[in-house]
Structure 1
Amino acid sequence: MSFAVVILKKGEGRMLKAGGAWIFDNEIAHVLGTYEDGDIVIVKDFDGFAMGRGFINRNSKIRVRMLTRNADQEIDEAFFRRRLADAWEYRKKTVDTGSCRIVFGEADFLPGMVIDKFSDVLVFQALALGMDRYKELLIRLLKEILLEDGIHIRGVYERSDAKEREKEGLKKVKGFFGDEFDTNVLIEENGVKYIVDVKDGQKTGFFLDQKYNRLAIQRLCKDARVLDCFTHTGSFALNAGIAGAKSVLGVDASDLAVEQARKNAELNGLEKSVSFLSADVFELLPELEKQGEQYDVVILDPPAFTKSRSSVKNAVKGYREINMRGMKLVKDGGYLVTCSCSHFMDYELFTKTIAQAAKSVHCRLRQVEFRTQAPDHPILWAADESYYLKFYIFQVCKEK
């Protein structure tokens, strides 16, 4: 079988040569041979040096996504089985696999594919045309691999409804991938039970990336008064409650999320100590400040305020304001938990923004720890897009 060959311009392919997985449209000199979008191609440098194989898509600015650095590697069933088996073995060594992300796109050398396991259910997103072609094969192979470990998957749901697909020339797709099943899935994480709505929940239904960050706040929350902002379905709030907090208020603008959070509180027997409010956090925090409210722990887990470089400036204002408001509501000697899930709000900028917020409200911060995403969302060096979550815990000192 012959493959089209992508020839790079002289001096291009820097990201690829540094260990990344993407080749952009403006890095390509020309393509030799015929192909259809989504086909496997061989990539060569300007001088003919073979750099590997990937799939091509003229609809996307990311013109080629690399699958292997070996230009002679066959991209067949055996290839994908090895990739999936490697991904699963890595999770077994690094995380609790009861619920976890099994495939994290480029960081697992399967660009454009995300697969999450919630108990005995799989949820996947195919975000690139080339990977969309292989989704049936990938799911079949992964189910076989899990079954070898005695894990029977009772259902698979597709959540390929992200905007990224439009950039690939793909329609959004959502629905059962095989037989229908109850899409409200019970999971347990850090001793907390949740009902995960894989059909209508955000992303794939639940944010697994904060698993160990949620665990890290438990020790701070015993006997504490806690405010959890942007609570979504209550994950940080419930970790505070299970740790023995005196009272927890979780706030989110989504009525649907708050209703699910209340159900999760009842599921854990925490409805007396953990309550939820549907409100705009930016509007609520100044009101709480006016009322003289003070908390032992304030948690800020906002959605990404920026998803592009062009909107970073506005995002900085949002992060600065929310952190200023949060610090004002922390008691002297209490704790601020603050994070950003935006790739474009990088570590240096996020850190600088928090420092500016602290200076503005005359707080001194003592860093307890800095964390990032759970190991089932591995950070592949040179693939900058795989590093997105920044998570700080600070002690807030006001009178020292």
Structure 2
Amino acid sequence: MNRRGAQRLRGGHPWVFRSDVVQAPALPAGVVRVEEENGTPLGWALWSPRSEISLRRLEVDPSQTIDASWWHTALARSIARRAPLANVANAYRLVHGEGDGLPSLVVDRYDDSLVIQLLSAGMDAWTDTIVESLRELTGCTGILARNDPAARDREGLPREVRLLYGDVPRTIEVNEHGVRYLAAPWDGQKTGAFLDQRENRVMIGALARGRALDCFAYHGSFALHLARHATQVSAVDISAPALARVNEHAERNGLRNIEPVQGDAFEVLRAWHRDGQQFDTIVVDPPAFAKTRGALDGAIRGYKDINLQAMKLLAPGGLLFTASCSFHLSRGLFFDMLSDAVADSGRRFALRSITGQPLDHPELINVPETGYLKGALLEAME
């Protein structure tokens, strides 16, 4: 590879783009040894012949051999980092791709089942080896490949959902700090549930009081935590099937203070403000408005609008937890957006807490692509 690619690797980033590959390997997708133009070895990397990201470094030490034993050790190390989570939940991420030094591999645990994503051609070539190690390391009863993200298109790989081992149920009960809900590994969002907000749900749930609001509720994961301390919770979502699952989850937890509200969150909040309604605790956790860099300007307007509506509805002394899962919306832009919303609200808000990604979704400081989730807890001062 050229000097630019080598500098990128030496700086700790695992990706090498096609334009920085001087001599492409005449090999199928898999693992290849990588060198600088002068022959200096730079370790081993996943090779994707059709991808713009041609190389993803796995191993710095060129003397290592990338074989079944290497994969077993790397997976065991990643899984061991999650050991504390087994005490509070039965669903969490075991491998977070580049964040765990295993680029383009995602492994999520749902009780006794695993859901994996192999998002590059180089990683996909090692499927059988990875599955065998995961079986041995976790004692799982089934492994499902949710290989349906668009990223596989860029690798020349098919999008598919395929059972790789054993049996994986259509729904699996998740127990998260005492709150129970159903994950849908075969056809649910992401790999079956939103595991990355687990600690944020616990945080705002413990602080909740009075009348609470969960915007973009989906299956009600935030609403369930809010309902344990709030008097009443409104769970707003545009999807009727999602709200039916909210009702099911409320019954599963013996909660009778959650009210599903079907409608567009933007319009619902505006109507409630016109009616003079107020809430003591609000959660704004929308889907990724900025899925591409080109969509960023419109996304910022959308994030500002929904947060402004929430700020108008918040009672004095009330708490607002707001988050964004858009990678292209940086932390700086996120807080700029919140500052603009506060200014337009005409109220004073104090920043109580800043949140990022949990233990099982590590964000590497020098690999920005590993980070996407950011959140803030705000208090209405008047």
**Shorter-chain TM-score tier:** over 0.9
**By how many angstroms is 1:312 displaced?**
1.2
Determine if contact 1:335/1:394 at 8 Å carries over to the other structure: yes
CA offsets, 1:225-278, max 9 Å, x none? 001001111011000112x211001111222222212111110011x2012122
**Match 2:312 to one of 325, 328, 333:** 328
**By how many angstroms is 1:93 displaced?**
4.1
**By how many angstroms is 1:52 displaced?**
1.2
Aligned residue in 2 for 1:375: 359
Aligned residue in 2 for 1:209: 196
Aligned residue in 2 for 1:145: 137
Determine if contact 1:338/1:391 at 8 Å carries over to the other structure: yes
Moved more, 374-383 or 79-88: 374-383
Aligned residue in 1 for 2:244: 259
Q: Secondary structure at the match of 1:263?
A: helix
**Match 1:220 to one of 203, 207, 215:** 207
> What number of residue pairs does the alignment pair up?
381
Provide the C-alpha distance between the structure 2 equivalents of 1:335 and 1:14, rounded to a whole number of angstroms. 45
| Structure 1, unpaired ranges of 5+ | 1-7, 148-152
| Structure 2, unpaired ranges of 5+ | none
Structure 1 residues 13, 356: closer, same or farther in 2, change over 3 A?
farther
Structure 1 residues 103, 318: closer, same or farther in 2, change over 3 A?
same
Q: Secondary structure at the match of 1:368?
A: strand
Aligned residue in 1 for 2:112: 120
**By how many angstroms is 1:11 displaced?**
3.5
Q: Secondary structure at the match of 2:4?
A: coil
**Alignment partner of 1:167 is 2:165:** no
Determine if contact 1:298/1:337 at 8 Å carries over to the other structure: yes
Aligned residue in 2 for 1:43: 34
Provide the C-alpha distance between the structure 1 equivalents of 2:78 and 2:5, rounded to a whole number of angstroms. 30
**Match 1:53 to one of 21, 44, 56:** 44
Determine if contact 1:15/1:382 at 8 Å carries over to the other structure: no
Aligned amino acid, residue 212 of structure 1: E
Q: Secondary structure at the match of 1:30?
A: coil
Aligned residue in 2 for 1:66: 57
Aligned amino acid, residue 135 of structure 1: T
Moved more, 345-354 or 280-289: 280-289
CA offsets, 1:287-327, max 9 Å, x none? 11111110001110001111222221111111111111110
Structure 1 residues 267, 282: closer, same or farther in 2, change over 3 A?
same
**Match 2:83 to one of 72, 75, 92:** 92
Provide the C-alpha distance between the structure 1 equivalents of 2:196 and 2:223, rounded to a whole number of angstroms. 16
**Match 1:366 to one of 330, 350, 362:** 350
Q: Secondary structure at the match of 1:165?
A: helix
Aligned residue in 1 for 2:72: 81
Q: Secondary structure at the match of 1:11?
A: helix
Aligned amino acid, residue 391 of structure 1: G
Q: How does 1:165-314 map to 2 (within 5 A)?
A: 165-222=152-209, 224-242=210-228, 244-270=229-255, 272-314=256-298
Aligned residue in 1 for 2:12: 19
